[in-house]
Chain A
Amino acid sequence: MSVRGVARYAGLTPFAFYVIIFLAIPTLLAVSTGFFTEDGDFTLANIEGLFAPNILSAFASSFWVSAVTAIAGAILGALVCYAMLGTRPEGALRTVVDSISSVLAQFGGVMLAFVFIAAIGIQGLITVWLKNELGVDIYADGPWLYQVPGLLLPYLYFQVPLMVITFMPALQGLKSQWAEANATLGGTRFTYWTRIAAPVLAPSFFGSVLLLFANAFSSYATAAALISQGAQIVPLQIRAALVSETVLGRENMAGALAFGMIVVMVIVMWGYSVLQSRTSRWQR
C-alpha cells in the first residue's frame, strides 16, 4: 500500500482511538475482571458466585420482569401502531406520538419512578382515591411498589413507547397491494391479517419483543430510584457489588455480574438481529 493509501486511513484514527478507550477497553474490563482476584490471579470463584442463591434469584427476577413487560409492552405498543395505520406519517398525530414515545422510552429513568410514586405510591393520588372512594387498599399486601412487582408498571411506561418506535416501520411496510390481492382472490379481513400480515410481521414483532426484553433487562435508573433496600434484580446487584467492593469474598463480583448480563444481552440481541434481517426482506 502506498504512503497515500495509509494516509487515507489516518482520518479514521481519532474515532478508532476514542472507541477503543471508552467502549472496547471498558467492555473488556467489565466482562474480564470477574475472572480475576483483586491481585490479578485467575479465579473462577466470582463466576461460581453467580450461582449463589441470592444472585440466581436476582437473575430470575430480572428475567420475569423483563419477559412480562416485554410481552405486555409489545402487545400494547402493537395496538397503538395498528391504531395509527392510515394516518399520515408526517401528520401531527404521528409526530406527537413519536415524540412522546421517544421521551418516555429514552429519557424516563429516575423520573418515571417519581411519576409512579405520585400516582400509586403509598400516598399516591390513585392509591388515596381508591382507598377513600372505593375502599380498595392496593397496599393491603405490603408496599409492592418498592419491590420487584412495583417495577412492572413503570417499566411498561417505557416499554410500550419503545415498541411504538420500533414496530411502526414494520407495520407501515405492509403493502396495500397485498390487501388488494387478498380481496381480489376472495379473501376476507380475517384471512388478510392471519395469512398475509401475521407471517410478514411475525419476525419483526418477535424481534421487538427481544429488544424490549433487553431494554428492561439492562434498565437500571428506575429500579435504583424505586428500590433503595436490597438488590432484587441484576443491575441492582451490580450496584451493590460496586458500592461494597471491599466486602470479603466479593472482590470483582461486579465483573462477574457484568459478564453474566453480557451473556444474556448478546444472546438476546443476536436473536433480535437475526429476526431483524428477516424483517428487512419485506421492507424493500
Chain B
Amino acid sequence: MTGLRELLLGRWRATAGPGRGVIESVEIVEIVETVETVETVESVETFGIRVTPRGAKAEGAWPSVECQVYACGEEDRQPGAAALGVVALETRSVELQLRVNKGILCVMSWTRFVRADPGQRAWVTRELFVRASPEVGP
C-alpha cells in the first residue's frame, strides 16, 4: 500500500477558479488503529477523505468518511491510485471516485437524493485538483 499512500495522501485544492465546481478542497488522510487481541497487537491502516465543498459556511463541511484504496494500471509509465468513499449528508449522498495520475487528482461526485423527489434528479460532476501541501514521505 506504500506507493498508493504516497500518491494519494495530502491536501488537494481545486484547479477551477472561485464560483466554479462543487468542491473547494479534498484531504486524504491515513488512519492507523491499534487492534488488540488476547495474543497480539496489530496496527490496521485505513484511509479517510475530508471534502470541503464550495460555500462551506452556508452548508457546513462534509463529514469525514473512510475510503477504500485501489491500485491503478500505469498510464504512460506513471503509477496511479484510486479511492472510493461515500459521504452521507442530510438530504443526499455523494459517492466519490478519486483517481490520482501524473500529480492530478480527478474527483467524480455521484450525487443522489436520499428520498425520491420527482423535482430533483441525481447528477454527476468531474473536478480536478492539484496538491495544496507537500507530498508525504515514505
Interaction A to B: no
Interface residues of A (CB under 8 A from B): none
Interface residues of B (CB under 8 A from A): none
